[in-house]
């Protein structure tokens, strides 16, 4: 996918949320790159950036052939803290630039009242400086809904390129997709498999059985055909490869509609009510 920054982003990513630091993470990242992933997503709060960087180095893949994302955590919001947080992330990863840096969660009104918008804007100013100084190539948001995004869009000198949100069957996030597409913002899906809860859904299982595919492949294909970029995670080599193998088939309009009609479900935190 083409980003508004002019760079391109691989249209499936390998996520490292809850991947234990150390050998498990190093091996998983190395396996993902061997399977064909060139887009690796991590975050400071995952506490595994050192291992992610080591897995990348052990893969033998040249840095310029990879797309690496990280995120500034909530305790580091604000101008000065965000700059320092990015410096630490680069040091931990052993890299001199990031392809994409995101504000991990918006400051919300529940915690910060009327100050929430200004906190998000100040953090975004730091993101713009990081982009200007070439420490990061593209900057974006994560878990921002329209009400969080609008103050940033209204004041930004560099517009967000990405919004990474919980998106999967049962959580379609239509309002957020509308504002993102209006502003040329690529939408990424975290937990596209509903943290595994959707893999046993009978409607998805029925489509998977008829197609000779796994349930995860059906769901990831559905995400991609919604023009959303899935970030998928496993530490098992066979599943890592399976989840990447989703580009040689298409779901029918009827199958897409069946999956889109699944009951409402949210498996992560709501950005408006998050207290962390």
Q: Which of 46, 79, 97, 145 is catalytic?
A: 46
Instruction: Please check whether residue 242 lies inside any domain of the structure.
Output: no
Residue 7 annotated among the catalytic residues of the structure: no
pLDDT digits 0-9 by tens, 205-247: 999 999 999 999 999 999 999 999 999 999 999 999 999 999 9
Q: How many domains does the chain have?
A: 1
pLDDT value at position 106?
Answer: 98
Mean pLDDT on 84-106 = 98
Instruction: Please check whether residue 1 lies inside any domain of the structure.
Output: no
pTM over 0.85: yes
**What percent of the chain is modeled with pLDDT above 70?**
100
Mean pLDDT on 126-143 = 98
Write out the chain in H/E/C secondary structure.
CECCCCCECCCCEEECCCCCCCHHHHHHHHHHHHHCCCEEECCHHHCCHHHHHHHHHHHCCCHHHCEEEEEECHHHCCHHHHHHHHHHHHHHHCCCCEEEEEECCCCCHHHHHHHHHHHHHHHHHHHHHHHHCCCEEEEEEECCCHHHHHHHHHHCCCCCCEEEEECECCECCHHHHHHHHHCCCEEEEECCCHHHHHHHCHHHHHHHHHHCCCHHHHHHHHHHHCCCEEEECCCCHHHHHHHHCCCCCCCCHHHHHHHHCCCCCCCCCCCCCCCC
Instruction: Please check whether residue 246 lies inside any domain of the structure.
Output: no
Per the structure, the complete domain to which residue 120 belongs is given by 13-196+227-237
Find the CATH number of the domain harbouring 82.
3.20.20.100
Instruction: Please check whether residue 202 lies inside any domain of the structure.
Output: no
pLDDT band at 88 (very low <50, low <70, confident <90, very high): very high
Instruction: Please check whether residue 222 lies inside any domain of the structure.
Output: no
Instruction: Please check whether residue 58 lies inside any domain of the structure.
Output: yes
Average pLDDT of the chain is: 98
Instruction: Please check whether residue 216 lies inside any domain of the structure.
Output: no
Mean pLDDT on 81-86 = 98
pLDDT band at 1 (very low <50, low <70, confident <90, very high): very high
Instruction: Please check whether residue 61 lies inside any domain of the structure.
Output: yes
pLDDT value at position 255?
Answer: 98
Mean pLDDT on 163-182 = 98
């Amino acid at each position: 996918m083409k980003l508004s920054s002019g760079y391109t982003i691989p249209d499936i990513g390998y996520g490292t949320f809850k991947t234990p630091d150390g050998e498990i993470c190093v091996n998983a990242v190395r396996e993902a790159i061997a399977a064909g992933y060139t887009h690796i997503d991590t975050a400071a709060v995952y506490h595994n950036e050192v291992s992610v960087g080591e897995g990348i180095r052990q893969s033998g893949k040249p840095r310029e052939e990879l797309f690496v994302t990280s995120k500034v955590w909530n305790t580091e919001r604000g101008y000065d803290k965000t700059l320092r947080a990015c410096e630490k992330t680069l040091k931990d990863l052993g890299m001199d630039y990031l392809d994409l840096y995101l504000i991990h969660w918006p400051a919300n009104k529940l915690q910060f009242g009327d100050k929430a918008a200004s906190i998000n804007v100040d953090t975004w100013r730091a993101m713009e400086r990081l982009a200007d100084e070439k420490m990061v190539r593209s900057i974006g948001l994560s878990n921002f809904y329209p009400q969080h995004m609008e103050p940033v869009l209204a004041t930004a000198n560099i517009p967000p390129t990405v919004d990474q949100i919980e998106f999967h069957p049962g959580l379609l996030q239509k309002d957020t997709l509308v504002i993102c597409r209006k502003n040329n913002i690529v939408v990424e899906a975290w937990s596209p498999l509903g943290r595994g809860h959707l893999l046993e859904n009978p409607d998805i299982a029925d489509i998977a059985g008829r197609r000779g595919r796994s349930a995860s492949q059906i769901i990831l294909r559905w995400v991609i055909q919604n023009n959303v970029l899935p970030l998928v995670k496993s530490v098992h080599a066979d599943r890592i490869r399976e989840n990447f193998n989703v580009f040689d088939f298409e779901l029918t309009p009827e199958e897409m509609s069946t999956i889109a009609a699944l009951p409402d479900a949210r498996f992560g935190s709501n950005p408006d009510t998050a207290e962390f």
